[in-house]
Amino acid sequence: MAIEPLTNFVNGAFVKSGASEFLPVRDPGTTDVLTQVPLSPKEEVDAAVTAGAVAFREWRRTPAGERIQPLFRLKVLLEQNRDEIAKIITRECGKTYVESDAEIQRAIENIEVACGAPSMMQGVTNEDIARGIDESMVRQPLGVVAAITPFNFPLMVPLWFMPYAVACGNSFLLKPSEKVPMTMMKLMELVAQAGFPKGVIQVINGARDVVDAILDHPDVRAVSFVGSTPVAKYIYSRATANGKRAQCQGGAKNPIIVMPDADMETTTRIAADSAFGCAGQRCLAASVAITVGDARNEFLERIADAASSRKVGYGLDKATQMGPVITGDSKARIEKLIAMGEMEGAKIVVDGRQHKVSGYEDGNFVFPTILDGVPHGGELARTEIFGPVFSLTHASTIEEAIAMCNDRAYGNAASIFTTSGAAARQFRYEVASGNVGINLGVPAPMAYFPFSGWRQSFFGDLHAQGAHGFEFYTETKVIIERWPKEWSRKF
């Protein structure tokens, strides 16, 4: 039976795309085709932007206290549909059911924070900046804003943006990852039920052409992006060259330092969860461990055990601790990088290649892999792998280890494991990373903190989430007023 392709969600309705090309959306655990996603043409982006601009006229006049009511309803609907959504995420993205459920929680938290819009959008006023003259600043929404999102968090990443954008009075257009578009189409069913006015939230499915149509459309005022660094750079430069506000989160290569005084049992457990959770496809995943001094042998032994005992399988099987990677291409790329590490002189201590999962022989599985002695200056130590591969490298002192952390292009996350307050302080003070963990493997900021990537992990000024979200989606307007008494009519 032919699979019905996904639609777009435009002006409050599920609309069939007139696309001439479609891509299969595959279950990474089986490689079965789940659906087809349209590569929508530019005209469909134009129609959505027009609908968004029309919706904006009324939406911006709707009091913020009213605008957040459908967001409250959306939160409840997400909670009511949690199980179904977790299963959709697992089927199209591959992560385990528990990981999908955790993602939903993180998404909901962003809706909760965005519901603070009536306070967070408040302006400021100074009376008498000069005699009889008052000055105030108000925040106004921008208009139509857009987001372009990656495959690894099909629900959470779009909700880093959407709730803030609409709570501030903008209309919001999303292009989800063409690898995982089903979760967003389910969300649009809930958006329709929650009672947002038509055109306030829209989805256009597709790939590069949709992105370019968004970047070049004169009525799109701001663009949020999350994905790989080369695409982040491209989107940031084209969006800003076209006069748009942009925030673009890129790739990562996150180091953790393991000090000799660390509690090795906890450290290994947390480090393994960070490196292998979501099959290493998290932008905050630990990718390189720098062991300091005597930490080397014990950490290596324990992490090798943790890697080889991790249960790899299909994400909906209860016993599974780690699922597949997203595509066959991704699997091939990761395996090539493992071989490159070996060529550069690293020792493969646990080899995750060439394994099959019984019953899922066609799935894109790479098992946990440990490479020891990865040369710091080499290619592998610098390349984002985005798979369950943990590289170990060694330093003699904390100073050397911090210098190794800082000698890299990315600055998404960095962590230290230690029982020394002094070492922890030195690390958090000196490390060149925007999200820092102390005895934590995945330092993911809560929704009320900015997601603070640095360097090649972020292009822009205002980050996603929290107060930055409200600032990004509003423009400040300053009003200076003089109302002399003598001009007033006498009553």
Give the sign of the dihedral formed by CA 407, CA 413, CA 417, CA 418. Answer: positive
In the complex with ligand NAD, the residue whose CB is nearer, 172 or 234, is 234
Distance CA 434, CA 417 (A): 17
In eight-state DSSP terms, residue 380 is T
CB of residue 150 vs ligand NAD: minimum separation in angstroms? Answer: 3
- Asked if 352 touches ligand NAD (CB under 6 A), the answer is no
Check: CB of residue 392 under 8 Å from CB of residue 371: yes
In the complex with ligand NAD, the residue whose CB is nearer, 267 or 435, is 435
In the complex with ligand NAD, the residue whose CB is nearer, 70 or 154, is 154
CB of residue 78 vs ligand NAD: minimum separation in angstroms? Answer: 20
Helix (H, G, I), strand (E, B) or coil at 36: strand
Bridge partners of 249, per DSSP, are 226, 458
CA distances from 342 to 255, 288, 412 (A): 19, 15, 26
Amino acid (1-letter code) at residue 461: D
In the complex with ligand NAD, the residue whose CB is nearer, 56 or 390, is 390
- Asked if 17 touches ligand NAD (CB under 6 A), the answer is no
Three-point CA angle 270, 275, 280, nearest 5°: 140
Amino acid (1-letter code) at residue 178: E
Three-point CA angle 276, 230, 223, nearest 5°: 100
Helix (H, G, I), strand (E, B) or coil at 219: coil
Strand order in the sheet with 201-203: 13-15, 8-10, 201-203, 171-175, 144-148, 220-226, 245-249, 458-459
Segment interacting with ligand NAD, rule: CB under 6 A, options 12-20, 223-231, 306-314, 339-347 = 223-231
CB of residue 380 vs ligand NAD: minimum separation in angstroms? Answer: 16
CB of residue 375 vs ligand NAD: minimum separation in angstroms? Answer: 23
Distance CA 239, CA 1 (A): 42
Among 35, 193, 228, 237, binds ligand NAD (CB under 6 A): 228
Phi, psi (deg, nearest 5) at residue 111: -65, -45
CB of residue 309 vs ligand NAD: minimum separation in angstroms? Answer: 27
Among 155, 182, 211, 325, binds ligand NAD (CB under 6 A): 211
- The H or E element spanning position 131 is none
CB of residue 288 vs ligand NAD: minimum separation in angstroms? Answer: 14
Check: CB of residue 381 under 8 Å from CB of residue 393: yes
In the complex with ligand NAD, the residue whose CB is nearer, 96 or 249, is 249
Give the sign of the dihedral formed by CA 472, CA 469, CA 455, CA 218. Answer: negative
| Catalytic residue chosen out of the listed positions 168, 248, 283, 405 | 283
CB of residue 125 vs ligand NAD: minimum separation in angstroms? Answer: 36
Active site residue 283: yes
- Asked if 251 touches ligand NAD (CB under 6 A), the answer is yes
Count Cβ atoms within 10 A of the Cβ of residue 423 and give its class: 0-12 exposed, 13-18 middle, 19 or more buried: buried
CB of residue 280 vs ligand NAD: minimum separation in angstroms? Answer: 10
Among 103, 109, 372, 384, binds ligand NAD (CB under 6 A): 384
By beta carbon distance, the residue nearest ligand NAD is 227
Binding mask 443-482 for ligand NAD (x = CB under 6 A): --------x-x---x-------------------------
Phi, psi (deg, nearest 5) at residue 459: -125, 120
In the complex with ligand NAD, the residue whose CB is nearer, 226 or 404, is 226
Phi, psi (deg, nearest 5) at residue 29: -80, -20
CB of residue 430 vs ligand NAD: minimum separation in angstroms? Answer: 22
**Residues 114 to 173 in contact with ligand NAD, rule: CB under 6 A:** 148-152, 157
**Residues 283 to 312 in contact with ligand NAD, rule: CB under 6 A:** 283
In the complex with ligand NAD, the residue whose CB is nearer, 272 or 278, is 278
**Residues 266 to 285 in contact with ligand NAD, rule: CB under 6 A:** 283
Helix (H, G, I), strand (E, B) or coil at 18: coil
Among 40, 183, 249, 391, binds ligand NAD (CB under 6 A): 249
- Asked if 412 touches ligand NAD (CB under 6 A), the answer is yes
Q: Which residues of 80-95 are buried (b: 16+ CB within 10 A; e: fewer)?
A: ebeeebbebbbbbbbb
Give the sign of the dihedral formed by CA 215, CA 216, CA 217, CA 219. Answer: positive
Segment interacting with ligand NAD, rule: CB under 6 A, options 125-133, 246-254, 265-273, 387-395 = 246-254
Among 114, 182, 239, 252, binds ligand NAD (CB under 6 A): 252
In the complex with ligand NAD, the residue whose CB is nearer, 458 or 473, is 458
Q: Show which residues are catalytic.
A: 283
Interface residue list for ligand NAD (CB under 6 A): 148-152, 157, 175, 177-178, 207-208, 211, 226-228, 231, 234, 249-252, 283, 384, 386, 412, 451, 453, 457
